[in-house]
Amino acid sequence: MFPTSDEKVPGKGLGVVTILFIAINVLVFLFLQGAGSNESFTYGYAAVPLEITSGEDLTTPQVIETADGPVEVPQTPGPNPIFLTLITSMFMHAGWLHLIGNMLFLWVFGDNVEHTISRGLYVIFYLLAGVVGALAQILIDSDSPIPSLGASGAVSGVLGAYLVLFPRNRVRVFMLRTMATVPAMVMIGMWALFQFINGLGAFAVAEETTGGVAYMAHIGGFVVGLVAGAIARSAGAVKTTT
């Protein structure tokens, strides 16, 4: 189920910060990651759980055991302090599909949240959701040298906030080879259920067996969004939602 459009906040234009975030993600992927070809930058500035928990920047390859035998994971120098990768990693992606998927969700849902909580708070909220998402993933895989990257934690935060702020908004989605219109609570609710089911499984299996998807990052960011949305709603930020 992929969203294509939603009901917008009346009287508001484009989400300037949302567009800026999308532009940064695209530019980083194209010019700094070389559309995925610059492995040195990607491995250096992605968030590596073992680096965050140890506080040390890994610069030599690490070997992990998989079902297919030992696998060498490259490591390259990153920023100083290494904790900055919690932020840099959220503007990086593993490939075109990863980038397009995240940016599609951000494009559809981001502007309403931005208009509702203000641009300044939206920036803080987005970054916080991304960092918490990364930390949630690290929590269950603290000794892993496998890099984690992507805007998924931050975008999941946007979805969580949207669910609380605009639960009845109609969302246009592509589903089962056709277009349909469903309430946001249905679309985001189904997405969240999928994340939580797979996230629970992440506690019991290695990351490589979950297809490399950081489900706990999605859950961590989503919870931040739910809390932020609840705070904004209780503060009277939503006046147009029915």
pLDDT digits (tens, 9 = 90+) for 121-178: 999 999 999 999 999 999 998 999 999 999 999 999 999 999 999 999 999 999 888 9
How would residue 241 be classed by pLDDT, with cut points 50, 70 and 90? very low
pLDDT at 128: 99
Q: pTM (2 decimals)?
A: 0.93
How would residue 211 be classed by pLDDT, with cut points 50, 70 and 90? low
63 forms bridges with which residues in the sheet? 72
2 forms bridges with which residues in the sheet? 174
Using the predicted structure, report yes or no on whether residue 88 has a pLDDT greater than 80.
Answer: yes
148 forms bridges with which residues in the sheet? 47
CA 192 to CA 110: how far, in whole Å?
A: 17
Tokens 């946007």, located at residue = 158
DSSP, collapsed to helix, strand or coil, labels residue 148 as strand
For the ranges 15-24, 57-66, 233-242, the lowest mean pLDDT is seen at 233-242
Share of the chain above pLDDT 90, in %: 84
Q: How many CB atoms lie within 10 A of CB 146?
A: 18
pLDDT at 205: 57
For the ranges 79-88, 195-204, 224-233, the lowest mean pLDDT is seen at 195-204
Q: What is the mean pLDDT of the chain?
A: 93
pLDDT at 202: 65
More confident residue, 201 or 163: 163
- Give per-residue burial for 169-194: e unless 16+ CB within 10 Å, then b: bebbbeeeeeeeebebbebbeebbee
Using the predicted structure, report yes or no on whether residue 83 has a pLDDT greater than 60.
Answer: yes
The set of residues, in sequence order, having a beta carbon less than 8 Å from that of 125 and lying 6+ positions away, is 113, 117, 157, 161, 224, 225, 228
What integer is the mean pLDDT of 112-127?
98
For the chain, which domains are there? 2-234 (1.20.1540.10)
